[in-house]
Amino acid sequence: MKIDSLKRVLVVGSGTMGQQIGLQCALHSYDVVLYDVDPIALTMAENRIAGYLAHRVEDGHVDNAAATAARKRLTFEPNANIAAQNVDLLSESVPEDPVLKGQVFAQFNNLCPPRTLFTTNTSTLIPSMFAEMTGRPQQFAALHFHLPVWSSNVVDIMPHKGTSPETVALLESFAQRIGQIPIILEQENHGYVFNTMLEAFLRSALTLAANGITPVENVDRAWMGIMKTPIGPFGIIDLVGLETVWKITDFWASTTKDTQLRKNADFIKTFIDDGRLGIKNGQGFYIYPNPAFEAEGFLMGHK
C-alpha cells in the first residue's frame, strides 16, 4: 500500500486517546471510524469531540469550515463488523492489558481487509508482546501518541523484529500527514521515548505523596515554581486519566513486585474508588474545569 491510498482510519477504543487520535486524523482529511463495545462510551466520545472542536475554533486554531468538514468525516460505530469495513489503518487504544490487546487484534484480523495496517497506542507495553495475535505481524507496529494530540504532536513509531520496513515507512509518512513529528525507535523499549522520562517523573511525584512527605498540591507547586510550567505532575495525571496511570503502575507493581510501586498504585486507587478519574469526569486530584493550580495565588499556597 502507498501512502496516497491510505484514506480510512479505524480507531478502536473511544477514551480520551482514541477521541483525540480520531479527531486529529479527521482534521487532516482522513475518514475515521471510532469503535467501542460500549454505545454509551461512544455517545460520550461524540460529545467530547464536539467540545474539542468548539474549543479549537474558539482559540482560532481551526476555522468553522474545517471543523464542520472534520465532523462529517467521523462516524461512531458499536458494531465491529461494520467498523472494520474498508479500513486502511487501525489504531488501537484499549486499556493497558496485553491479553486484552491481543484479543482485540485477533478479532479485527478476521474482520479487516488484508491490506490494513495495525498499530497500537500502548504507552508502556511493547508490540512484540501481542504481535503474533494480530495475524499480520509484518504490518504491525506501535504508533504512540501524546496528549493533547494536536499540540503535543510527537508520535513514537516502534517496530518489533517482525515489522516490515515498508510498514515503518508508511507509518512515518502517515504521522507527518496528520501533523505529527515521527520518532522512530531502533529497538523496543518499555515506555517509548518521552514516556520513559515522564514515568520516572510521575513515579517520583507519586512516591512523595503516597509516603506522606507532602500533599499533592505542594508536589505540583515545587515543580511549577522552579520549572515555570503551567501544570505539575498531578495535573498531568489528571490529564492522562487516573485509571490509565493506575493500570500502568499496578501492572508494573505486580510484574516487578516493587513495594513502592504497589504503594503508589494503591494511593491512586483510593481516588479512583472515590469516583475521581481526572479531567474526563471533572474531578481527579483537582476539580475541573477550573483546577486550583490555574488560580492566581496557587504557587504561594493561597486557597
pLDDT tens for 9-23 read: 999 999 999 999 999
Helix H or strand E segment including 75: strand 74-77
Same domain, 54 and 31: yes
Domain boundary among 136, 161, 184: 184
Same domain, 211 and 173: no
Q: pLDDT at position 261, please?
A: 97
Q: pLDDT at position 302, please?
A: 64
Q: pLDDT at position 191, please?
A: 84
What's the CATH number where 35 sits?
A: 3.40.50.720
Predicted structure pTM score: 0.80
Domain boundary among 158, 184, 210: 184
pLDDT, tens digit, 9 for 90 and up, residues 69-89 = 999 999 999 999 999 999 999
Say which residue the cell 460529545 belongs to. Answer: 47
Asked, for residue 303, whether it belongs to a domain, the answer is no
Mean pLDDT score, 202-230: 97
Q: pLDDT at position 251, please?
A: 86
Domain boundary among 154, 184, 214: 184
Same domain, 73 and 140: yes
What is the band of 196 on the pLDDT scale with cuts at 50, 70, 90?
confident
Q: Is the pLDDT of residue 269 over 60?
A: yes
Containing domain of residue 180, as a range? 3-184
Distance CA 135, CA 149 (A): 28
Mean pLDDT value across the chain: 95
Asked, for residue 235, whether it belongs to a domain, the answer is yes
Same domain, 285 and 205: yes
> Phi and psi dihedrals of 89, rounded to 5?
-145, 135
Same domain, 163 and 14: yes
Same domain, 122 and 229: no
Mean pLDDT score, 142-163: 96
**Percent of the chain whose predicted confidence (pLDDT) is above 90:** 90
Same domain, 41 and 87: yes
CA angle 92, 95, 98 (to 5 degrees): 80
Q: pLDDT at position 303, please?
A: 56
Asked, for residue 217, whether it belongs to a domain, the answer is yes
Q: Is the pLDDT of residue 45 over 70?
A: yes
Q: Is the pLDDT of residue 248 over 90?
A: no
Distance CA 25, CA 85 (A): 18
Name the maximum alpha-carbon separation found in the chain: 59
Distance CA 303, CA 99 (A): 45
Asked, for residue 301, whether it belongs to a domain, the answer is no
Same domain, 66 and 157: yes
Asked, for residue 92, whether it belongs to a domain, the answer is yes
Asked, for residue 302, whether it belongs to a domain, the answer is no
Contact (Cβ atoms closer than 8 angstroms) between residue 123 and residue 158: no
Mean pLDDT score, 230-236: 96
What is the number of domains present in the chain? 2
What is the band of 61 on the pLDDT scale with cuts at 50, 70, 90?
very high
Mean pLDDT score, 123-129: 91
What's the CATH number where 243 sits?
A: 1.10.1040.10
Mean pLDDT score, 200-227: 97
The bridge status of strand 31-35 relative to strand 8-12 is parallel
Distance CA 226, CA 232 (A): 11
Same domain, 152 and 260: no
Return the closest-CA partner of residue 293 out of 216, 179, 207.
Answer: 216
Same domain, 43 and 136: yes
Same domain, 137 and 67: yes
Q: Identify the residue with better confidence: 120 or 124.
A: 120
Q: pLDDT at position 240, please?
A: 87
Q: pLDDT at position 211, please?
A: 98
Same domain, 122 and 169: yes
Q: pLDDT at position 13, please?
A: 97
